[in-house]
Structure 1
Amino acid sequence: MPVPPTREADESKGQISSGTALLSSVGKPLQSFKPLSNICEAFCGIHLYPNEPKRQVISYHYCSMLDADRRQCLVYDSNSEHAKLIAVEYIISQKLFEALDENEKKYWHSHKYECESGLLVQIAKAMVPEMVVETAEIPALQHLSNTYGKTIQLWPVDDQGNCSHVPHGPPQLLASFTADGQVLPEILEKRDKEMGISTETKRKEREGRVQGNPPAEGADQWVTKGRAWQIYDQGDRGVVEARQ
């Protein structure tokens, strides 16, 4: 397997003062990072805005398991040490999704297509053989194919690489792909180059081996019901609301 290059975030990394660096190096051995130590999965995928499906974001997920039915993921714009935390994603089982009320379901997306198609891939360490990656990846993605995600973006980084120095605007909902022809070829090519992989090869590897249930009723409403739910800032009124 080619060694995945480390992608630098689009924006300049800035400078860390010697004082800040000293505080970090001294404080790290003394502090507890238990929630982060529970991260056990790493995946790279691509999200889209359900109200603007041509806005698409390469997303690196680092996930921990709360229990058999729930995961929570920190989502970054790269796999670099300078990566920006751009979103969070909560992942639940089909059982928990089906128990949600109808109003809540509109915020959730299925994972079936991206798992089967090769769009979602594990982030492997350098020099791990492809056969080993595939052996671990297939069962993990088979399980994920029957889950549902709610992704809230906090820092927009998809504006032609011209992202802001700080997170701006209200949180926004992101979604997943559900069919061929939705992902922009240039975004997919960029992701594959960053990861040193071929999505098409991944897809062929998964044929007959990764197969999710049909998405449950109520998921992917931006496609199934034409409801592109999004969160909007109402400006001077100081109100944030979700609307179609």
Structure 2
Amino acid sequence: MSNSAAENTETGSKLNLTSVMSTCASALQNFKPLSNVCESFCGIHPFCDNINKQIVAYHFCSMLDEDRRQCLIYDDDGPNAKLIAVEYIISDKLFKELPEEEKKYWHSHKYEVESGMLVMTSKSLVPNAVATATENQQLKAIINTYGKTWQLWPVDDNNKCSSKVPYGPPQLVMAFTKDGQVNPQLLKERDDHMGISTKEKRKAREGVLVGNVPLSGADHWQFKEPFQIKEH
């Protein structure tokens, strides 16, 4: 048997094993924490110490209660997407109660929502009017919240998580706070992939989705030396 044939056989065996494991898992195993996922969003996160490093982030969130969400973040919305980050989202009420030292890890969501950059992911067959109405309701619950996001997979110079494994320490990422920060090409690629227009969403949200001024202590990276975990 040639080397290429052997490699194809090995790859086929791995795919078959994965398929069998997935089928058995769905029939036999318990995934209760994942069954609580009730929201899915897509945004773009910049690294707090290097705004030119950005990543498209697909969030799948569950609610612990009305003040707390927790999100698994992937680099794509397909079945082979990599888990690249986690985000914790809290209400403004809980943010106010945080110690001042803790607040530097958290970012606001006001601009991200108002600008049209944070969007709900919906199935292609859902009518646009229904999807928009649902999206607006969900984003009204998000616009005045605060998030702490740890990126676990490194991002390359093309803003992709291209490495085979997640090298290095976690990195703190944020949300955009004003115009001119997002990489326009990355935003276009995201919009093209999802079949949406951030510009149109922004226009449609004017006067409909309006957040409060972010609380003091949030978006620390804009005002002071940004915190980041450094490699030794």
TM-score (norm 2): 0.91
Question: Rg bigger for which structure?
Answer: 2
Q: 1:136 and 1:102, CA in 2 relative to 1: closer, same or farther beyond 3 A?
A: same
Indicate yes or no: 2:65 matched with 1:67.
yes
Q: Render the CA deviation track for 1:172-200: whole Å, top value 9, x for unaligned.
A: 10000000111111111111111100001
1:150 corresponding residue in structure 2? 148
**C-alpha displacement at 1:96, in angstroms?**
0.4
Q: Distance in 1 between matches of 2:133 and 2:161?
A: 38
RMSD value, Cα = 1.6
Q: CA offsets, 1:30-66, max 9 Å, x none?
A: 1000000000000000000010000010000000000
Q: Give the C-alpha shift of residue 19 in structure 1.
A: 3.2
Q: Which runs of 4+ in 1 moved over 6 A?
A: none
Q: Do the aligned partners of residues 14 and 38 (structure 1) sit closer, same or farther apart at CA in structure 2, a change above 3 Å counting?
A: farther
- For 1:20 and 1:119, how far apart are their aligned partners in 2? 35
Contact between 1:56 and 1:158, CA under 8 Å: does it hold in 2? Answer: no
Within the candidate set 120, 125, 149, 1:122 is matched to 120
Q: Find the counterpart in structure 2 of residue 42 from structure 1.
A: 40
Gaps of 5+ in 2: 1-10
AA at the equivalent of 1:217: S
Q: Which sits farther off after the overlay, 13-22 or 57-66?
A: 13-22
Q: Distance in 1 between matches of 2:83 and 2:133?
A: 29
- Cross-structure match for 2:17: 19
Change (3 A) 1:70 1:76: same
Is there any run of 5+ residues in structure 1 with no aligned partner, and where? Answer: 1-12, 235-244
What is residue 215 of structure 1 aligned with on the other side?
Answer: 214
Q: Of Structure 1 and Structure 2, which has the larger fraction of its residues in helix?
A: 2
Deviation, structure 1 residue 21:
3.0
Q: Displacement of 1:162 after TM fit? A: 6.5
Deviation at 1:158, TM superposition (A): 4.0
Q: CA deviation at 1:115?
A: 0.5
3-state SS of the aligned residue for 2:21?
helix
For the pair 1:94 / 2:92, whether they are aligned, the reply is yes
Indicate yes or no: 2:201 matched with 1:179.
Answer: no
